[in-house]
Amino acid sequence: MAAWAGDDPRIPIAPLNEQILMIAGNPARPVTLEVTYFTPPGPGPFPLAIVNHGASKATRTNPGERQWIALESFYFLARGYAVAMPMLRGFAGSGGRMIRLGCNLSALAVENARNIAAVIRNIGQRPEIDVSRVVVTGQSFGGWNTMGLSVLPVPGLRGLVLFNAGVRDGDCKTQDEAMLGSATLIGEHAWPPSLWFYGENDRLLPTSLWQEIHAAFARGGTAAELVDIGKFGTDSHSFLAYQNARPLWEPKLDAFLAQLGLPNSVLFPDYQVPKHLSASGKKPQ
């Protein structure tokens, strides 16, 4: 855990029971993945939430740092889920090199998803996990890779949640067209229901583009609900990082989980109270 982590205003006052696991990824391309693992109080068995990371600070020569602070992780802990946050191939402490496939963004999503599926299989063997109840989410690049999981046979997977799903890769000169074509292809073979969130002042994904991406995926026929959060701050692409954005997405996600037959009400409210506040919601004296 980073030395500065205790001062981050997003960290909850409840214990995270944090473990750093090294887990085997896709057996077809063997690699060891660094995974942050949180559990709520009690012995379980817990439903499992996978939270996939973005890629804004990582490059070919800089794998970036382990990403573990995420409000969606604390959302799931509050509702009694165990949470796993895998760093994908070539990121942070995971082995191998980042997958780069130019404009073949559907293959990029699916290849990364194969590693996510391997994490689900391996963590699902732990006695405290109910692997029949799995939900997967991700933001930006993580949302794109979450979409890739929708074409893989993952036992126990109930649904997917995509926040600002998209990918910007300098190896592809026609990125918008590549995203649209890839969303179409994946949507034609997708099977689990999904919930999509976007905002109207997203600096990476203009409104007209994300509307087309979602529509291209949804034409495949699988249930894919779209939520437009409107404008948020100066850049809605990062809305998920802010406490004051929670009313924009939490009720919709609660309702989606209810439709999937998954836990959707708060059991441990302290996971959604940042450490710089007391349990009463007031600043400590």
3-state secondary structure of 279: coil
**Number of Cβ atoms within 10 Å of the Cβ of 258:** 12
**Nearest Cα to Cα of residue 166 among 134, 126, 196, 136:** 196
The pLDDT value recorded for residue 169 is 75
Asked whether the predicted pLDDT for residue 161 surpasses 80, the reply is: yes
pTM for the full model? 0.91
DSSP per-residue codes, 142-205: HHHHHHHGGGS--TTEEEEEEES-----TT-S-HHHHHHHHHHHHHHH--S-EEEEE-TT-SSS
* Helix (H), strand (E) at residue 136: strand 129-139
pLDDT in tens, 23-68: 999 999 999 999 999 999 999 999 999 999 988 665 666 667 788 8
More confident residue, 173 or 197: 197
Q: Are 223 and 159 in contact (CB under 8 A)?
A: no
Query: Hey, what amino acid is at 231?
Result: K
The pLDDT value recorded for residue 210 is 98
Q: What span, in angstroms and rounded, lies between the C-alpha atoms of 283 and 54?
A: 31
Q: What does pLDDT average to over the chain? A: 90
Domains of the chain by range and CATH?
8-272 (3.40.50.1820)
